[in-house]
Amino acid sequence: MKKIRLSGRSKDELHQMSSTYNQMIDRLRESFTRQEQFVSDASHELKTPISVIKSYTQLLNRWGRKKPEVFEEATEAIQTETDRMDAMIRQMLTLARNQKSDHLKLESVNLTALLQDCVRAFSVTYDRDIQLFSTENKLEGRVDREKINQVFYILIDNACKYSQDEVHVYTDSSEGYIQVKVQDFGEGIPEADVERIFDRFYRVDKARSRDNGGTGLGLSIAKHIVESHNGIITVDTELGNGTAFTVKLPKS
């Protein structure tokens, strides 16, 4: 361990050192608590699909050979729950990886083109009318292409999952900022929940999110990515009328 020479230092210097040391300890403590909470939340979230798989395996063992309808129901449920765990573990790894290293591979990216690809893909997946309104054909941003693509993916996917009608995506650029807004006309988010939707594993309606294959991790991943680009993500929502997520990224 490195030895720090204390003698000969002024009272102010010692005071400064002790406060820096205390700040470091506080940050470490905070980080451990966050880590602990994450592990506890993650285990809790994984328990549900595991217990569903367990029950269906027992059912399969008991009746699967005699009753084809039980065989079908059980194998389908096991497949769904396995897919859910797979999605959850992938997102947890993404979150952990992003948090471990905020290293961004910044490059000049045409965000309009990136959004066009995203919109095209989701229009097909959800068979939905998704419209892109762009003020410029080529909106250039200095971003990590893969990570920002992930943000667009999460927001457009959510807009499709939590609404039935069309989805509008707007891009704009203002002083020093590039702005992307994903607007849906769906159910909206209750006021009491808005503050928490960016928290890990938070879902307004757990059962609904589960049915949609949601994990409750998408928005926390999106927020982390946007903030690591020194940007901000905000939400504007009205119950019964829809939700708009806006991402603001610095131009360079």
Interacting residue ranges for ligand ADP, rule: CB under 6 A: 154, 158-159, 162, 184, 186-187, 189, 197, 202-205, 209, 214-220, 243
Structure tokens that stand for 82 in this block: 């396995």
Q: Smallest distance, Å, CB 136 to ligand ADP? A: 25
Nearest to 109 by CA among 78, 141, 136: 141
Nearest to 232 by CA among 187, 202, 198: 198
* Residues 6 or more apart in contact with residue 105 via CB below 8 angstroms: 144, 145, 146
Length reported for the chain: 252
Structure tokens that stand for 123 in this block: 């229009």
Q: Smallest distance, Å, CB 121 to ligand ADP? A: 17
- Whose Cβ is closer to ligand ADP: residue 112's or residue 183's? 183
Beta bridge partners of 167: 130, 184
Q: Smallest distance, Å, CB 124 to ligand ADP? A: 19
- Whose Cβ is closer to ligand ADP: residue 60's or residue 160's? 160
- Whose Cβ is closer to ligand ADP: residue 74's or residue 160's? 160
Q: Smallest distance, Å, CB 239 to ligand ADP? A: 10
Q: Smallest distance, Å, CB 165 to ligand ADP? A: 12
Q: Report strand pairing: 140-144 vs 242-250.
A: unpaired
Given a contact cutoff of 8 angstroms between Cβ atoms, the answer to whether 66 and 59 are in contact is: no
Burial class (CB in 10 A: 0-12, 13-18, 19+), 84: buried
- Whose Cβ is closer to ligand ADP: residue 64's or residue 220's? 220
